[in-house]
Amino acid sequence: MRHIFYIFLAMAIMGSACQKKVTDIKPQDLLSSDLAFSSPQKIENAVLSGYDGLQSPEFISGRALIYVDLMGEDIYDRTGYFTELPRFGLLANSGIAYSVWTAGYASVAKANTGIAGITANSNKLTADKAKELIAECKFIRAVANFYLVNFFAQPYVFTSDASHTGIPLITKPFTSNDPAANQPKSSVAAVYTAIITDLMEALADLPLEYTGYANDEYHNKTRGTKASASAFLSRVYLYKGDYTNAKKYALDVINGNYGVFALNSTVDASYTASNGEYITGETIWSIANNINDNPNTNNALPMHYYPNGRGDLSISSSFLSTTTNPYFAVDDKRRTLIISGTTAQTAAYKFTRKYTDITGRADWAPIIRYAEILLTYAEAQARTATGVDADAVAKLNIVRDRAKAITTLSYTVGSFANKDALIAAILGERRIELAFEGHRFWDLMRVKASVTNKYDSDGTSLLPAQPFGAKKNVFPIPQIEIDKSKGVLVQNDDY
């Protein structure tokens, strides 16, 4: 563990925060530790560097979302680029696992450094600004820990009290050679508690919106806000199986407590840049990208998902078929987001056009959209109701009606024989609406489902079903971390 947290208090950034965007933070901007938090501008830029950690191409601006998709059944790796990941065959020395681990904990480290630096230099800020910036750091840390614990540990519902082992909880900015940097794994319950605590404290102090910048709306969609914190809380509680709280925090967003959000009028508007940016009423929180932020063509979302790039990730028959994906009607407008390959090598395959910018690599990673919040509320409401709940049906219809054919009738309470049928329809809608955005495998795991109808790289051979609770459903702790910890950190089972 220790080498990840050799983070010195040298993370402030030269230049005005008003002139830099969240993902403009680059290593060459870093100052020595005695200057890192020496002015309000540098303090704020140090906080922005935490978002740059999340934006790592090995983390949630690209690869992490792909990995979640690849473990599900809706895409397959037609070129074999991602080695044994889709077959659940990673080894302890996997570069995939190592990259996610180091990128995730680098984000945690930047957040911890920011909190410590702001606390030590709070006299340089107003009290409200100091609280706001610390809240951003807590939001960043919560997001990083959420992805880490779901990659490297079994889901919350794996044991009745989530007492199974999770990941190390790191809350301090450790410096070089500090023995305390070696931390054992905490339980999944403890990790979720820490995530929820960070998000709750962030929600209290984050702004509704950012003002005074060259592009305020850019900051509203890429930095932590009350809306994004509440939205993430709804997702965390959904994964935890706490449907009462999942419903509450989703409803706070739906009711406009933290701003006005609405679905775009068309199914593709969230994935089309306007003035070079993906800012719409449906966007709650995204990771922005551009050619400088994501210079490695092998990491960018469009390079893998779009046929004009590498075109590694083809859409499976399991997703396209109304037999294995029964809620995906043949005239669903979201089928227009699916295209055939455009080269001789890809013409026989199907791809998504959610990410298309091969040259500029500027497709934003849509981490939380309003559609997810509507479906989270619908599911949580349906699960906590005694029968088929009309409000859950109404929220489901908001998402489905945008995509259905004009002649297709909206759902009514009478469309469902019982609440289980409604829940199945909501989960089916979630599969379609959030496809290729890094959700499917974890959605299966949180409801204790197996991965079935999953194709191998040839697109025709079915792999064995992968059951809930299988040991290889989680990534290995990088072996180098195990070795460095000298017994403090224990490897995950079967690695």
Q: What are 431-451's pLDDT values in tens digits?
A: 999 999 999 999 999 999 999
**What is the C-alpha separation between 491 and 183, in angstroms, rounded?**
13
- From residue 401, alpha-carbon distances to 42, 262, 397, 409 in Å are 47, 13, 5, 9
Percent of the chain at pLDDT exceeding 70: 92
**What is the C-alpha separation between 284 and 230, in angstroms, rounded?**
10
Residue-averaged pLDDT of the chain: 92
The answer to whether 363 and 302 are in contact (CB under 8 A) is yes
- 473 burial class (0-12, 13-18, 19+ CB within 10 angstroms)? buried
Task: Encode burial over 27-41: b for 16+ CB neighbours within 10 A, e otherwise.
Answer: eebbbeeeebbeebb
**What is the C-alpha separation between 71 and 440, in angstroms, rounded?**
8
Of 277 and 51, the one with more pLDDT: 51
**What is the C-alpha separation between 184 and 190, in angstroms, rounded?**
12
Q: What is the pTM of this model?
A: 0.93
Query: Which tokens is 155 given?
Result: 């889901």
**pLDDT at site 297:** 72
pLDDT at 11 over 50: no
**What is the C-alpha separation between 238 and 240, in angstroms, rounded?**
5
Residue 386, C-beta contacts closer than 8 angstroms, at least 6 positions apart: 419
The answer to whether 42 and 211 are in contact (CB under 8 A) is no
- From residue 300, alpha-carbon distances to 59, 337, 494 in Å are 11, 19, 31
Q: What is the mean pLDDT of residues 157-185?
A: 90
pLDDT at 10 over 70: no
pLDDT at 19 over 60: no
Of 425 and 1, the one with more pLDDT: 425
Map out the domains of the chain with their CATH numbers.
Answer: 2-485 (1.25.40.390)
Q: What is the mean pLDDT of residues 34-61?
A: 91
- What is the longest distance spanned by two Cα atoms in the chain? 67
Question: Hey, what's the torsion of the CAs at 347, 349, 350, 351, to 10 degrees?
Answer: -80
The pLDDT confidence band at residue 25, using thresholds 50, 70 and 90, is: very low
The answer to whether 140 and 107 are in contact (CB under 8 A) is yes
The answer to whether 43 and 37 are in contact (CB under 8 A) is yes
The answer to whether 438 and 66 are in contact (CB under 8 A) is yes
pLDDT at 2 over 60: no
The candidate with the shortest Cα–Cα distance to 239, out of 122, 338, 151, is 151
**What is the C-alpha separation between 30 and 53, in angstroms, rounded?**
14
pLDDT at 4 over 80: no
Of 297 and 334, the one with more pLDDT: 334
Q: What angle do CA 209, 213, 218 make, to 5 degrees?
A: 60
272 DSSP assignment:
S
Of 227 and 33, the one with more pLDDT: 227
Residue 208's identity, in one-letter code, is L
Of 262 and 214, the one with more pLDDT: 262
Backbone phi and psi for residue 76, each to the nearest 5 degrees, phi listed first: -140, 155
**Range of lowest pLDDT (228-232, 348-352, 358-362, 404-408):** 358-362
Residue 475's identity, in one-letter code, is F
**What is the C-alpha separation between 406 and 18, in angstroms, rounded?**
46
**pLDDT at site 395:** 98
**pLDDT at site 18:** 38
**pLDDT at site 298:** 82
The pLDDT confidence band at residue 13, using thresholds 50, 70 and 90, is: very low
The candidate with the shortest Cα–Cα distance to 228, out of 211, 212, 206, 196, is 206
User: How many CA atoms does the CB half-sphere of 387 hold within 13 Å?
Assistant: 5
**pLDDT at site 6:** 35
pLDDT tens digits, one per residue of 222-268: 999 999 999 999 999 999 999 999 999 999 999 999 999 999 999 99
The answer to whether 429 and 443 are in contact (CB under 8 A) is no
**What is the C-alpha separation between 303 and 317, in angstroms, rounded?**
21
> Radius of gyration of the chain from Cα atoms?
22
Query: Which tokens is 177 given?
Result: 């050679």
